[in-house]
Amino acid sequence: MPENITSENLLNNIMETLAEGVHKQKSGSFFEEEISNPVVCKLNRLFGRQEPVHKVLGGGKSADVLLWRNKKISAGVIGGATALWFIFEWLNYNFLPLVCFGMALGMLGQFLWSKASGFTNRSSSEIPKIQVPEEWFVNIAVTVGREVNRTLRFLQKIACGGNLKEFVLVVSGLVVSAMIGTWCNFLTVIYIGFVAAHTLPVLYEKYEDEVDGFVENLLGSMTHHYKKIDARVLSKMPTRKYWGKKHE
């Protein structure tokens, strides 16, 4: 039968564990261990990554845009997304009116072009025809479906893989995303995710050693605290069977 545990003893154990953790963090033991052994920092990449960031992101043109290989294209993509977000969010435009206004302007341009061709003796066949290739829609659908399936496979792999560090990081990211979603509307969440996708990978690629070392230290510190609290508090708490015997 486990010893009697009072609320005062539990509080004292928790405070002692946290105090020891703070003292170790101030002394720099975790960071000194990481600095003294740089090989560990290189091996323990985020999410167990073994390949370069560019290859992890697909290694194609999309990866070039995300990692700012061509600064003009990447800046244009971010600028276009920012302009759309500003139009819909701050100017209170809706998607349908914007599409209708755009089509009306396009029809007006076509009308003026056709009338001007009569005065300049040009044939109507010279009027540029606006047409979206059907392959674009097929490629967009295939790309979206492939990315959705890859995301689902990744989440299932993290959930069933048994790696606690990866599981905690992914679940924490989903919780943070859910919290952001309660503060902002759906369009703003998409814009934040779009900007993050075009800024975080390039920053991580530039400072990957520092980020991997920080995450490794943070996870090590969390694991250390959890083991101490489990040994001093959680393992000593009465089980359901013990409480049943006590009430009897």
pLDDT in tens, 2-54: 444 455 565 566 666 655 654 554 444 444 444 444 444 444 566 566 677 77
- Check residue 17 and give its pLDDT: 61
Provide the residue ranges of all domains of the chain, joining segments of one domain with +: 7-92+148-243
- Residue 37 Ramachandran class (φ > 0 left, ψ -120 to 50 alpha, else beta): beta
Secondary structure of the chain: what % helix, strand, coil (to 5)? 80, 0, 20
Averaged pLDDT, 206-224: 82
The pLDDT of residue 221 is above 90: no
DSSP tag of 163: -
Cβ-contact 160, 143 below 8 angstroms = no
Nearest by Cα to 198 from 48, 69, 60, 85: 69
Averaged pLDDT, 111-138: 75
The pLDDT of residue 75 is above 80: yes
Taking only the tens place, the pLDDT of each residue in 160-212 is 987 777 888 889 888 988 887 788 788 888 888 889 888 988 888 888 888 88
**How many other CB atoms sit within 10 Å of the CB of residue 22?**
10
